[in-house]
Structures are given as structure tokens and as C-alpha cells.
Chain A
């Protein structure tokens, strides 16, 4: 037996993006299309009207790689680079359009924890159900049952329907089941974003155990710290292509230096195709940001204001408790979180389009490129829409400030400082002026 866990050759996945507009999701359209098809054929067109109207997108193309057994491989890339598509193909959720992959062993995915949980069923029942959905045998679940319950810390609530669980308990239980799957190949897509800090640490620890225990791990994340900590090698995807595959630090440096994802201020940026989590009952559809200062072409600047307008589509009238704009550094560390929950009033949304305008009065960030994440939720019950990286913005320096010289590495946060005094030994020690 070879020591290969996954061998992918020329994997490709074609999506029909236009289908959102011209999908013939009614029988009427299908019939009309079917009737037109022979006519098109007579015109020697070869394509149906649908194919011509569709926008075809290769979410993944010509991707070939080998993953060795027992290796932990990070997968990084911007939104829409094809990371999730790759994981979906490898975990057999969707089939590739072309190429093939050979997978040696059971693939367990943590693409989304809590899949198949039913709110009416108790914790105990959900453990068995969820385990079966993830591909565990009943005997296997029974053997690991106590361990899962202990991991999730829900002993007292085992026979309570999970709809009465707090969101924290819910997530802990879901992760506990998934983490005990013990597949030969574990696929993880940023689950570390869930739960409180202590639980995140526990999850990361569990993943380290898995990775160091000789299992193969594929880990998709925007959090470069976590990738670096867990993965010995790393692949970088860009617009569906595998552009780099090698040892982690080198690939991360390459990823950070390519700032292709940056966008410009003072113009609406469409967000409909960004990768996101949440129920989708309210969704961010577009974003606009500006510093209101024409001299820097409206780019945000250090210590300056940042206006953000969010276009939100809600499927019904509702009041949401929390809308947040969050800024992360290149390593995925959260730096700034402007969350309306701290203002203590709900934001009313109408059914349909809404525009919410926020202002961060002073942006205490040094010049650099940052990821802007968005969040809309009604805590603790429901997360409507959530992303850690909607767009990437560049914070610049206002020319008028200082000399414009910067230390090589000065961190992310601006600190307002001054030199108070300079004393010399001859002047009589450390006296303050």
C-alpha cells in the first residue's frame, strides 16, 4: 500500500452561475426550453438557449496534487478561490465535472458542525443520529458515547431536546460528535470560528491531536496563525487554480504578498457571491466604504473615520440585535469589532432591501491591508449571515502626518504617543520636567 492519502488529477468543477437569473425552475420553462431545443439544433447551434444564457464559471480547474498519509495540509486562498469546492469534491458532496481523485480511507468532514441535528430530539438521540449521518456505525457511536458527552460538557442535559440548549452547548455537542469520527482523512473548514475562546482552544487542541496522531488533515482557513500551527504543508488556490503547494511558511508569505483581493472605496461592491455562513434570512448583498476624504481618494487612513454602508436583504420584517463590521489582520486576528449590540438597541429591517450606515469614528489601525468581515445576527438564537472576509481594504497614511517614515514592523494598532521629556545623566538623574 502506498503512503498516499489523496491523489487528485486534473480536478475541475464547472458551475452555471447565470442560473440564478435564467434558471428554468418551473416546468413551464423546462417545457418551453425543450420545445426550442430541436429548433436550435436545426440552426446548427448545438447549444440550448439555457447554455447560451448561462455564465459558466470554473470554480476549480486542472487541480492536481498528492497528499501523503499523516500529513496536515492547509488550504488557503481568497474568497471564491475554490477552497470549499475542492473540499466538497473530496468529501463527495458534489461530483467533479472533469478529472478524478483517489481517496484512500474514510473522509470525515467538519464542513459544518451539527449537520442533521433535529431540534425536537434530545442530546442523546442527536448524538446517534448525527453520528450515523457522518458515517459512524452504531457500535462505534456507543463506544465513544461517554467520551463525546464529556467533551461537550452536557452530561446533565443529555435527555433534554436540543432546542432548549444554549447556542454554546449546541455547538459543543455538534463538534464533539464530529471530532470523534476518527476518519483516516479529516476535512476542516474554519469551524474554529464557533464557540467561546476556551472551547476554540479545545477544538484546536483536538485537531492537533488528530494531525499529530498520524491522520491526514485538510484544513481550510483564513486564520494564518492556525494554519501555521497545524499544517506542515500548504496549498494556495487562486481563481480555481492551484498556484502554490509547498511548506507552509513559504506559501503563506506568497499568499500575503499577493494583494489581488483589495478593493477600492466609495463604490458599491457586490457581495452576493461571497462565501458565508448563517441562515440567510437576512443577507449582506453589497458594501460601500469611504473615509470621506478626497485627498486620499476616500481610502481609509490611520486615525481617520471609516464610513461603511451595508446593503442588507431580509426575507421578512425583523429587528436584529447585532450587526457588526469587523477588521482582521492578515493572520486572521480580530483587531476591531464595531458591533451594534454594544449600542444596546435593535436595528429594524424591512422585508427586501435595507441600507445600514455605520461610522467608525477613529480607525486606530496602521497602514496596511486588512480583511473586513461582516456579521448580522439576533443573538443568541440565530446567525443570519456571517463572513470573516467580505472584502480586503487598505488603510493608508495621510500625507500631512509626520514624515511618513515607518518602522519595518510596527504592529497593527496605532498608538498615539509623544516624547515627553529627555533627561541626561549630567542633569541630575531621572527627574521629570
Chain B
């Protein structure tokens, strides 16, 4: 047979120098997370995030200006309704700044959660045709919001300058907090995206979930508004820690609302770890059936 002769000459070619061996078999449990695979495909992750961003503003008249306008309009509405009319106490800080510092991570989280929950179903044509680690899809949906977050951050800085509020050294913790909110969005995004493949109810559920979630998170109000004995409940919501953390990093240690004891943050962190780990496992164990049922 001629193929044996061909395969010897073939092995000299650079592409064949060391072909990776892939084992295809049914997988179960923890061993199957394949996080290294995700790293191998990091370029795809960036491409997909880049595509998301590009397409989002492609046929809009104002284009990227929307990224600037969205937070400004939201803040204007919130300031009028909650700040001026309802007089929600903002403890010394001007209400627009008080709310904006919290809306920064919240808007990112809400967007990332909504996008990632529909991401797998929206990529059905990819999933049924090409192999790549499926984790890339919700991950890119979460990552693609970071640009908007960055632009909003700049808007906030300008606004703070207008009100004469200075940044403090606490700002160095901001990157950590950005990572935290990204992981939080990913944790819940993993659950919702994987559940959405099987139960399209998730599509209808997420908008309500996001709405309710915002009201139970101290975004438009501060934790000071919650009676002491109920504050531990806030700890069950990982976004509480994130939002208060952002206020603290942006407005300084004297910032309003930073009155929760440390163990509430610890509780927040534990909830996050549990949701993230269980989300990864659930995602991975259902991943093998995505292509069959999506």
C-alpha cells in the first residue's frame, strides 16, 4: 500500500512533527473540567469577545458613543427619582456619585449575566458544528462587557472631578474587584447558560431576576438603610460585597455604606466560590449533550 511510504515522508513535514494525541471517550466528574483546553483556545475567546463588541455597535448611528451615554442617562434618571424626589440618603457623598460608583459594577454584571445566559443557545450553529471548549462561549460573553465597564469608569472619573471628589489610595484594589465581579458574573452565567440549553424558560426568567437582584443589592441605596439584624442577609448576595467594595475603592475608606463587618464579606465570598465551582461542574457535565439538544 502506498500510504506507508507517504506517511514516512509525511513525518518530516513540520506540521506533523508532534501531533497532539486526543482521547475521545465519555467523561465524568471533576477530572473533566479541561481548564487547560480553555487556555489553549484563549485566542478564540478574544476573537469572540471582539466580535460581540464590534457587532453590538455596528449598525447604530451613534456607535461607541452609546457606551458613554448609557451610564450617563441611567445616572440622570436615578439621581432625579431616588436622589432628588425620594431623597435616598447617600451619607455625605453627592447622590449621582454615590449611585454611579455602585452602578459601575452592577451594569457590567447585569449585562454580562444577560448575555451569557443566552450565549450558548445563540451559538447553537457553532456548537453543533465545531469543537472548542464550550466554556469559551459564556466566558467571552462575560469578558466582552469589560470594555463598556472601562468607558463607564472614565465617565465616573470626569463626574467625580466635576463634584471635586478625589480618588484615594484604595483605588489600587479596583483591579481585584473587577476580577471579583467578572467571576461573579461568570459563576451565575455558567449556571444560566447551561440551564438555558435545556430549559428555555431561562430566557424569560433572567430579565426579572436581574431586576429583583438590583433592588436587593445596595445599588440605589446604602447598606446603612438596612437594619443591623438583617444585614447578614446581604452577605448571601455576592453582589453586595462587590458593590460595596467598588464604592470603597472609588470613594475612599470613609465611603458611605462601608459599615458591614468582615464576616459578611466572607459569607459573600463563600457563596461565590460554591456557585462558581458548582457552575463549572454542572456546565462541564452537561456540556457533552449541548450539541445533541440545543
A interface with B by C-beta (< 8 Å): 1, 3, 15, 19, 23, 25-27, 30, 68-71, 88-107, 109, 111-112, 115-116, 118, 120-121, 125, 128-129, 132-135, 137-138, 182, 184, 214-215, 232
Contacts and interface: CB of A to CB of B under 8 A. Distances in A.
A92 B27 contact: no
A106 B19 contact: yes
Given A104-B21, A184-B19, A30 B3 contact: no
B10 A104 contact: no
B32 to A, nearest CB: 10
A167 to B, nearest CB: 17
Given A27-B201, A115-B126, A133-B132, A105 B20 contact: yes
A131 to B, nearest CB: 9
B59 interface: yes
A90 B7 contact: no
26 contacts: A26-B200, A27-B201, A68-B3, A69-B3, A92-B22, A96-B25, A96-B26, A98-B26, A100-B24, A102-B23, A105-B19, A109-B131, A111-B129, A115-B130, A118-B51, A118-B55, A132-B43, A132-B47, A133-B47, A133-B132, A135-B131, A135-B132, A137-B43, A184-B19, A214-B13, A232-B1
Nearest to A72: B3
Given A69-B10, A89-B24, A98-B26, A116 B19 contact: no
B129 A93 contact: yes
Contacts of B200: 25-26
A134 B201 contact: no
B87 interface: no
Q: How large is the interface on B (under 10, 10 to 19, 20 to 34, 35 or more residues)?
A: 35 or more
Contacts of B2: 232
Main secondary structure of the interface of B (DSSP, over half): helix
A125 B54 contact: yes
A88 B24 contact: no
A216 to B, nearest CB: 9
Nearest to B23: A102
A135 B47 CA distance: 12
Interface in B270-294: 288-289, 291-293
B199 A1 contact: no
Contact of A115 (B7, B125, B291): B125
B199 to A, nearest CB: 5
A274 B38 CA distance: 35
B288 A94 contact: yes
B254 interface: no
Given A69-B7, A103-B21, A182-B15, A133 B130 contact: yes
A121 B7 contact: no
Candidate in B6, B55, B201, B291 with the most chain A CB atoms within 10 angstroms: B6
Contacts of B129: 93, 109, 111-112, 115
B4 interface: yes
Given A15-B292, A69-B3, A96-B24, A26 B47 contact: no
Nearest to B131: A92
Contact of A184 (B15, B125, B288): B15
Interface in B20-58: 20-27, 41, 43-44, 47-48, 51, 54-55, 58
B169 to A, nearest CB: 38
Nearest to A183: B15
Contacts of A25: 198-200
B125 A116 contact: yes
A25 B293 CA distance: 10
B126 A133 contact: yes
Given A93-B128, A232-B2, 4 more contacts: A15-B292, A103-B21, A135-B41, A138-B43
